[in-house]
Structure 1
Amino acid sequence: MSNWKVWCDGACAPSNPGPCAWGSVIEDPEGNRTEHCGFIQKMGTNNIAELTAAIESLRRTPEGATVSICSDSQYVLKGLTEWLPGWKKKNWKTAAGKPVLNKELWVILEQEAGRRTVTVEWVRGHNGHPENEQADGLANSGLKLAPV
């Protein structure tokens, strides 16, 4: 399969923790783009929002595809590429010996990434990167989807 590109972001507002949502822009190999967003929960953290954005974005790409995830979340990108193997070796404990937060989401993200060939790219948030700003706007739109 050809290369897919994903820009994803999470939002937690008006406070962290607080209501959280996700957004993403997905580009298929032909250059067609789609926008996605969703509300997660009334009380969550920014890290939950960022992880969910990556999971939901990957789920919208075909299994077996090569996917580049572009995010402003070093938590997600480093977790996926650097920290996961160590956490698993230590029975889901951090280097400090504490339980890994959001383990359930990390397990899902690892499964989704494992069904694809994934590379990651970090971009500084709120720095004018067009697709990252678009994903951020979509995540904030997702907050408006909260049930009343």
Structure 2
Amino acid sequence: MNNKGVTIYTDGACSGNPGAGGWAAVILFQDQRKDISGRAEDTTNNKMELIAVINGLKTLKTSCNINLYTDSLYIKNGITAWIKKWKINGWRTSNKKPVKNMELWKALDEISSQHQIDWRWVRAHNGDKYNELADALARKAIDNA
């Protein structure tokens, strides 16, 4: 693993839940910034949050040390705590039901294993410059039908 220090801010948004959705990631490396975003029809906010993180990580061409910021406790808790038990339990919850968005969680687990990631939660709509930018990009993606 190289010592490339990268910061990523991600966000997902949904107009209706389910409904049209958008996702975005702001990737910061040294003095460079790359913004990516996209949209989906008939989706959920949680799916958009997951897709934002997955696509943010997919932009990296080599293993990196990453500070990844999300305003989603679903993402933060899912990847740092819940996923361990899901995997032990055959991708089932404590209620023995299949994990929702399992394929996306599996994809996130796979791609995140290629990096050293410090998962950080940031409060939404609280003035954090890049969290606000990721939110604006995700919402704009919804409108770009």
Q: Distance in 1 between matches of 2:36 and 2:9?
A: 10
In structure 1, the partner of 2:56 is: 57
Superposition map of 1:63-102 within 5 A:
63-102=62-101
Runs of 4+ in 1 over 2 A off after TM superposition: none
Q: Deviations over 1:119-147 (max 9, x none)?
A: 1110011111111000000101111233x
Q: Deviations over 1:61-80 (max 9, x none)?
A: 23311111101001111111
Query: What TM-score comes out, normalization by structure 1 length?
Result: 0.93
- Tell me how far 1:100 sits from its aligned partner: 0.3
Unaligned runs of 5+ in 2: none
The count of corresponding residues between Structure 1 and Structure 2 is 143
The CA RMSD measured in Å over matched residues stands at: 1.0
Unaligned runs of 5+ in 1: none
1:65 and 1:116 in contact (8 A); partners too: yes
- Percent identity between matched residues is 36
Q: Deviations over 1:47-94 (max 9, x none)?
A: 000000000000112331111110100111111111111001101111
What SS class does the counterpart of residue 51 from structure 1 fall into?
Answer: helix
| 2:24 aligned partner, one-letter code | G
Query: What TM-score comes out, normalization by structure 2 length?
Result: 0.94
1:11 and 1:50 in contact (8 A); partners too: yes
